[in-house]
Structure 1
């Protein structure tokens, strides 16, 4: 019963949990980014939101950069703390601007992603990552 209320964390469990969270959220983000990447290169007129006035094309390019490239970096755990910054921005814009007037059940997915990305930005990628390999070589 004591283990249920224990507040310390076993480091190996934490690293495994960070791996699952990082890989899981990156793969799920691809389901949003890959269709946008297809839209970007389809040759058709771009129909996308422009929530901060950058133009629809640039807004889509920046979103694809975050959701595809940064998610790829997140997946392998390379430059994790930097990679989550564009993802945090995109999810914050989605939640607070694009879906601002929508009911919570519509915008909650953006908030869940945002929370995951913030946690990964604070914790880093963990032991099972390229970041860890680089940090060991530098030490």
Structure 2
């Protein structure tokens, strides 16, 4: 169990520049998700809250909860680098759904936004948060306990 927890949170890219770049990248993606997509879903900064598409037919409350969590609350975890890989997965699911289902027949000029978010979130899932993160501190603690 400790080994699995370690692999979920461990992420040191072995180079200070790469780790700093990952800090900047995950923060930039998370802030953009919150500012451009999340706040509209809550009705902040707009006259009416954005209608959340439900292409998979989930119950409305579940669909809205997933979308709001993926675009507002979980990106905060990305900023701090806490459980980064796990926090990125719901947003990745939402953006992949947007790309492959909601915008499946749209031109590339429309579907490029969910595509770019999906690629960005995949990079975060694969590389983790880097050394400058809560995950790194947590991984060091797990490592000492093992």
Task: Provide TM-score, normalisation by structure 2.
Answer: 0.80
Q: Deviations over 1:118-137 (max 9, x none)?
A: 01101100011111111222
**2:41 corresponds to which of 31, 36, 43:** 36
Q: Highest CA radius of gyration, 1 or 2?
A: 1
Give structure 2 stretches of 5+ with no counterpart: 1-12
**1:120 corresponds to which of 114, 117, 124:** 124
Give structure 1 stretches of 5+ with no counterpart: 1-8
Aligned 8 A contact 1:92 1:111 in 2? yes
Aligned partners of 1:104 and 1:120: how far apart in 2?
23
Aligned residues: 128
Task: Provide TM-score, normalisation by structure 1.
Answer: 0.83
Which residue of the partner structure matches residue 134 of structure 1? 138
Relative CO higher for 1 or 2, CA cutoff 8 Å, sep ≥ 6?
2
Aligned 8 A contact 1:73 1:80 in 2? yes
RMSD: 2.1
Whether 1:72 aligns to 2:76 is: yes
- State the SS of the aligned residue for 1:48: coil
